[in-house]
Amino acid sequence: MNSEISSIAVMTSGGDSPGMNAALRAVVRSANKYELQVWGIYRGYQGLIENKFLELDSEKVSNIIQRGGTILKSARSQDFRTEEGRAQAAQNLRDKGIDALVVIGGDGTFTGANLLSKEHGIKVVGIPATIDNDIIGTDETIGYDTALNTAIEAIDKIRDTADAHERMFLVEVMGRDAGFIALETGIAVGAELSLLPEELTSISEIKSQLKDMLKEQKRSSLVVVAEGDETGGALKLAENIKDDFAKYDLRVCILGHIQRGGAPSARDRVLASRLGASAIKILMEGHNEVMVGVVNNALKITPLRVAVSKKKGLDYGLVELAHILR
């Protein structure tokens, strides 16, 4: 075990995702096992620069595993993008006697942590938490399963009203650069079409595919659109195809931030607990500048520089399945 570490800090950063609190709870309680002092950083990297620290213990993280969002809050920080900002953040950690930092977030969070370690020698470990599920080195990120189930529940209800009125619904889900939510949601709700940032589909192709499906005498049609799809999202797509499908009372529904909120699913609570505890374990074993994930149900350690070097790709077996089943 690493005897150089007696005090750590933990923070949540970037976009919030369900399960961040469960990960925070696991970090604190696992740190207690090693008799480490734990500081929470309020409002991410901006709070680190502004010296917003809160001492944490088991009692302070009780009754949070079921809560969405993050009790430590999150914030974007332009100041941390500067060398001066990172220097101030590192100095604040040293002034508190903090030996290592655990960051819970996505690729932007990990990029910042890696810079902090490279420039100022701060030991860092990352825990992947983003509903986009686009971080390599882990099969799933914290929050993805909950966001997926939230989208499915909402779209199931939309399907009911679409069928009742012979409507065509274009439902936009989150995923500016990654189509994981759109792909798996589309399969789960039986969408006629799923439009993903990773697949280029022209407006003419979309019209042709929808017309072919409607020839099958379907009473309604449901298209799942990732917000980052090249068509410009659901609103822009609707504007481009409305004249061709006037009969179907075209409607748009943007699910938006409901996908970020709500109590985390059982799967996310267990994943977050497992990753939070593992982050402390590998930190005490001497690892630095790494992210902890789970691949094929086994713990996997990935260097932060690798985790932020590229986005995780879609499972094209699932893409093919979506094409077959629509």
Per-residue pLDDT reduced to its tens digit, 67-120: 999 999 998 889 999 999 999 999 999 999 999 999 999 999 999 999 999 999
Query: Is residue 320 one of the residues assigned to a domain?
Result: no
Query: Is residue 93 one of the residues assigned to a domain?
Result: yes
Instruction: Give pLDDT tens digits for 179-194.
Output: 999 999 999 999 989 9
Do 21 and 164 fall into the same domain? no
CATH number at residue 105: 3.40.50.450
Instruction: Look up the domain containing 156 and give its range.
Output: 144-261
pTM of the model: 0.94
Known catalytic residue: 95? no
Do 157 and 269 fall into the same domain? no
* Active-site annotation holder among 16, 99, 107, 132: 132
For the ranges 18-32, 114-128, 198-212, the lowest mean pLDDT is seen at 198-212
Do 139 and 268 fall into the same domain? yes
Do 111 and 12 fall into the same domain? yes
CATH number at residue 228: 3.40.50.460
Query: Is residue 323 one of the residues assigned to a domain?
Result: no
d(CA 48, CA 39): 11
Query: Is residue 313 one of the residues assigned to a domain?
Result: no
Instruction: State both tokens at 35.
Output: 């008799």
DSSP H helices, the chain, are 20-33, 44-49, 83-95, 107-120, 144-165, 180-189, 203-214, 233-241, 266-284, 304-307, 316-325
* 193 Rama sector, left if φ>0, alpha if ψ -120 to 50, beta otherwise: beta
Query: Is residue 321 one of the residues assigned to a domain?
Result: no
Longest dimension (CA), the chain: 71
3-class secondary structure, 113: helix
Number of neighbours of residue 116 by Cβ within 10 angstroms = 24
Domain total of the chain: 2
Do 52 and 175 fall into the same domain? no
Which run of H or E residues covers position 125?
Answer: strand 123-128
